[in-house]
Amino acid sequence: MTIYAHTDGASRGNPGESGIGIVLHDEKGTVLYSGSGYIGKTTNNVAEYEALLACLRKVRSLDCRKLVVYSDSELMVRQIRGEYKVKDKALRVYFGKVRELITAGGYEFSIQHITREQNADADLLANAGIDNRKALALA
């Protein structure tokens, strides 16, 4: 099955209190998973990577043949696509983890940049993660 994912990371302050949001749906638009989580104090870029990592971990439990990820983080999308170098040391670690999970996933992968407005559901979840201060449970 093809899974479409919307991911978002939010940080109130940069760095500041941060959360992540993920929405997964199938080809018909049926929501397969929707979740949010609190990740502590960090930067917006780290939060974006944390959201993508949580997405990749969740997809492991689903019958995924193709994963299409949508994110409003232009920096992260371009780094994952190889269009930008990952210069920040902390982000290099996250980048490596993402590449590892994609390779191990055994599915076709693509990632696309979208506008913040097109990512509203994931953004709401990321902010709910901050408000609720609860870690994301992927079980």
The predicted-structure confidence for 45-64, as pLDDT tens digits, reads as follows: 999 999 999 999 999 999 99
Kindly tell me if the per-residue pLDDT of 24 is higher than 90: yes
Instruction: Please indicate, yes or no, if residue 139 is contained in any of the structural domains.
Output: no
Instruction: Please indicate, yes or no, if residue 137 is contained in any of the structural domains.
Output: no
* CATH number (domain holding residue 22): 3.30.420.10
| Residue 46 belongs to domain spanning | 2-132
Kindly tell me if the per-residue pLDDT of 76 is higher than 90: yes
CA 134 to chain centre: 17
Whether the predicted model's global pTM rises above the 0.85 cut: yes
The number of domains in the chain is 1
Confidence of residue 37 (pLDDT cuts 50, 70, 90): very high
Kindly tell me if the per-residue pLDDT of 139 is higher than 70: no
Burial class (CB in 10 A: 0-12, 13-18, 19+), 85: exposed
Amino acid residing at 125: L
Instruction: Please indicate, yes or no, if residue 99 is contained in any of the structural domains.
Output: yes
Confidence of residue 15 (pLDDT cuts 50, 70, 90): very high
Q: Is the dihedral of CA 74, 92, 99, 54 positive or negative?
A: negative
Q: Report the share of the chain in percent with pLDDT over 90.
A: 94
